[in-house]
Structure 1
Amino acid sequence: MSRAKVVLVGTGRMGAIRAKILYSNPRVNFCGVVDVNEEAATKLATVFNTKAYTSVSAAMQAVGGLDGVVVCTPTFTHDAVIREAASFGLHIFTEKPVEENEEKVTKLFNICRENNAKLYCGFQRRFDATYKSVADSVRSGKIGKPLSASIFFADHPCPPIEFLLTGGDIFMDLSPHDVDYIRYCLNDEVDSVFATGSSSDEKLKNAGVCDNATMVLSFKTGAIVTLTMSRSASYGYDQRCEIFGTEGLACVNNEHADSSIISNKGGIQQARLKHSFPERFDGAFATEIEMFVDGILHNVAWPISEQDCIAAQKIADAARRSAELHEVIKL
């Protein structure tokens, strides 16, 4: 069996999730963990019986013949990491977003093309079995012409306020997942965006950070999509999507911790929702890595294009500006 030689860059929450997947995939030779924090790199590498490095260059020199990198570092570091990996012709999988705006995203894709390095960006809903089934149904016309959609995204558990104050903008951090997904489902482009938000904590309010928000996306063919987001659902990770068309309705329903249902004279009780995104999208995260390996070993095309990456960020940024200006933003 051919195996792709891959290193992981980043040791945060997503880094730990990806490390487990890389280690357990029989088609991956998990060659190391890279982090500027050598102690953190060593700690995670030890768990998965691999080596620690402080740069992609150091890993390349030590291992030799690397095929790819999986980037799980903060967005502001993506530019340097992707440039370094591309300089060796390595294929790159990165968590969304590739970069923060269209110009930077375009530059990085161009750099990768110049070095014959493929750049893959992860939007996990595209790889989730339920979300994919609904998208396939909508795109194949099973509900007729899509007229409207309602999407609800409530996080659990609520991230620490320090994260929300420094990097947890609800429009830029949360919305791109569902924005990318609904663009793909409808096979259409957004014409205008209106958004509004609120802050449930005085510290967030004083910093101008929203932890609850609603976006209204008007698509060019006439479909109207409402995306409601919250940073905190007390009852579990709440992810729902309903797409209404001229001939039917397609739904993504929530997944529960288990499928038990207890019915008695006191009512009907069901298990709580799955705890958080690692549990809800564990299968999708694994499928992303599997397809990344397919791209490395067999040149399989990635379903998310450069323009998809750009569009999701432009729409998220338009929503952020709309909430600040209290006006509709035309795209």
Structure 2
Amino acid sequence: MQAHERSPYLDCAQVHHESDFKYERYCTLVGNVTPAAADDISSDDAIKVAHKNQIGMVLFGLGRAGMIHLSNLLANPRVSLLYVVEMERARYDSVRARWGDRTPALVLPQDSATALADPRVDAVVVATPTFTHFEVIQQALDAGKMVFSEKPIAENAEQSRLCYETAAKLGLTVFCAFNRRFDPAFQAIQQAARRGDVGKVHTIKTVARDSPLPPIAYLKISGGIFHDCAVHDIDLICWVLGEFPRRALASASAHIAEIAAIGDHDTVAIVLEFDSGTIGTIDISRNAVYGYDQRLEVFGPKGLLTAENERPVNVRHQTSSGDTAVPFYFSFPSRYSEGYVLELEAFLDHVQGKIPLPILPEDSLRVSKIASACEESLRTGAFVTIDYAQ
């Protein structure tokens, strides 16, 4: 007779590892995880809270980022997407052809006040070109709506600060969507670094190389490589470390004639110096032909943390000729798909009063100031000391 080992059913229930964020999300959906309560927010955070299971929302813009947000909004059970504000009818018609009766109503930009006046609307997502952000955000705040905005909040620091000040006066929120903070790999590195897993951080490095090469039409209105692209890496480094640099040095080139012709750059290197002694470096390119190259490294006396490039499938083919795999993710919609989903979840948690604002106004304003310091460094060829009090 076969002897049986001790039954695993007699042991405690198996628990998933904290790194399995997808299973964690499943547990939340089926009710095995209790979300943070509104009481967890201090009384100092006097924000308007939507005591609703479904948040009524308006999406401004159906461009590159807007289409990502559209899918996530329509798929989220906590969202009732009521309107899309878009000036190009062809884009809306394409959306309607895919989503059919689930497609929210189209509103032209000149009629957006009608959508904002709808009492069912609690919040807006701003995914229009950068030069429109300030006007759209101010309009939404004046209508009493919470705001989720693609970075940057506005074209300059003065307008950005005004948006945050207006929101604070009205008890509302402006959430600046630095989606890389919500990428699971980067979150794991941030938590490990803050725990001291590598000891005092000596160096922190990022690589961010675009794929595919962005269209010139987009680059013309992007705000330049420092404020459009480098801000992601600057924010990522500051968030991982929990501090902001005192000095910045930047070098840049334009190898692509069309980018040089519009006064922008396609290749950038940045050095950030921190009071703690940590040195940060950023390596940026607009054109990586081998895929969307996104890496993070944190080094200290106790070891090294790395987030390497990710691939659509983890399959390798090994033969006598060598070892092959599919390329890295092609571009940001696929590489940061989880980050886009999780940043929306965080915003909804905040709107429903479950968590404080995940990205503080001073974070966004300081990152913009650092990017401007990099631009100044490029002009002068020297380190620029950053005064955050100004």
Give the TM-score category using the shorter length.
over 0.9
| 1:197-243: CA deviation from partner (whole Å, max 9, x where unpaired) | 11112233344311011001111111111100000110111000111
Residue of structure 2 in register with 1:25 after alignment: 76
Residue among 272, 278, 281 paired with 1:226 = 281
Q: 2:130–2:222: 8 Å Cα contact kept in structure 1?
A: no
- Contact kept, 8 Å, 1:32 with 1:45, in 2: the verdict is no
Match of 1:204 in 2: 259
Picking from 6, 9, 13, the partner of 2:64 is: 13
TM-score normalised by the chain length of structure 2: 0.81
Residue 235 of structure 1 corresponds to which residue in structure 2?
290
Residue in structure 1 matching 2:226, options 171, 185, 190:
171
**Where does structure 1 lack aligned partners over 5 or more consecutive residues?**
none
Letter in 1 for 2:74: Y
Counterparts of 1:88 and 1:168 in 2: how far apart (Å)?
28
Of 123, 128, 134, the residue aligned with 2:189 is: 134
The answer to whether structure 1 residue 57 and structure 2 residue 108 are counterparts is no
CA RMSD of aligned residues (A): 1.7
In the other structure, the counterpart of 2:178 is: 123
* Residue of structure 2 equivalent to 1:35: 86
Which residue number in structure 2 is paired with residue 300 of structure 1? 355
Task: Give the residue type in structure 1 aligned to 2:328.
Answer: L
CA distance change for structure 1 residues 14 and 324 in 2, over 3 Å: closer, same or farther? same
Number of equivalences = 330
Alignment deviations for residues 86-127 of structure 1 (CA, whole Å, 9 cap, x no partner): 012111000111123332211111111222221111111111
Cα deviation for residue 299 of structure 1 reads 4.4
Structure-1 residue corresponding to 2:198: 143
In structure 2, the residue matched to 1:108 is: 163
Residue identity opposite 2:112 in structure 1: V
**One-letter identity of the residue aligned with 1:51:** A
Instruction: Tell me the TM-score normalised to structure 1 length.
Output: 0.95
Distance 1:278 1:196, change over 3 A: same
CA distance in 1, matches of 2:314, 2:172: 43
Contact 1:71/1:94, CA 8 A, preserved across alignment: yes
Q: Distance in 1 between matches of 2:121 and 2:76?
A: 16
1:20 alignment partner AA: S
1:278-318 Cα distance to aligned partner (Å, 9 max, x none): 00111110111111111122342122101100111111111
AA aligned to 2:53 is S
In 2, distance between residues paired with 1:276 and 1:249?
26
Inter-partner Cα distance in structure 1 for 2:163 and 2:146: 13
Correspondence 1:235-274 to 2 at 5 A: 235-274=290-329
Equivalent residue, structure 1, for 2:32: none
SS state of the match for residue 273, structure 2? strand
Residue identity over aligned pairs, in percent, reads 32
Shift of 1:64: 2.6
Q: Equivalents in 2 of 1:46, 1:6: separation in Å?
A: 21
| 8 Å CA contact retained: 2:224, 2:264 | yes
1:322 aligns with 2:377: yes
Corresponding letter in the other structure for 1:4:
I
* 1:253-273 deviation digits (Å, cap 9, x = unpaired): 110121011111111112100
Residue pair 2:130, 2:221 contacting (<8 A) in 1 also: no
Q: Secondary structure at the match of 2:350?
A: helix
Compute the displacement of 1:140 (Å): 1.2
Residue in structure 1 matched with residue 53 of structure 2 by the alignment: 2
Summarize the alignment of residues 50-89 of structure 1 with structure 2, pairs less than 5 Å apart: 50-54=104-108, 55-61=111-117, 63-89=118-144
Structure 2, unpaired ranges of 5+: 1-51
Letter in 1 for 2:256: D
1:298 alignment partner, SS class: coil
Matched, 1:286 2:341: yes
Deviation per residue, 1:53-84 (Å, 9 max, x gap) = 124311134x4321100000112111111111
CA displacement at 1:161 relative to structure 2? 2.6
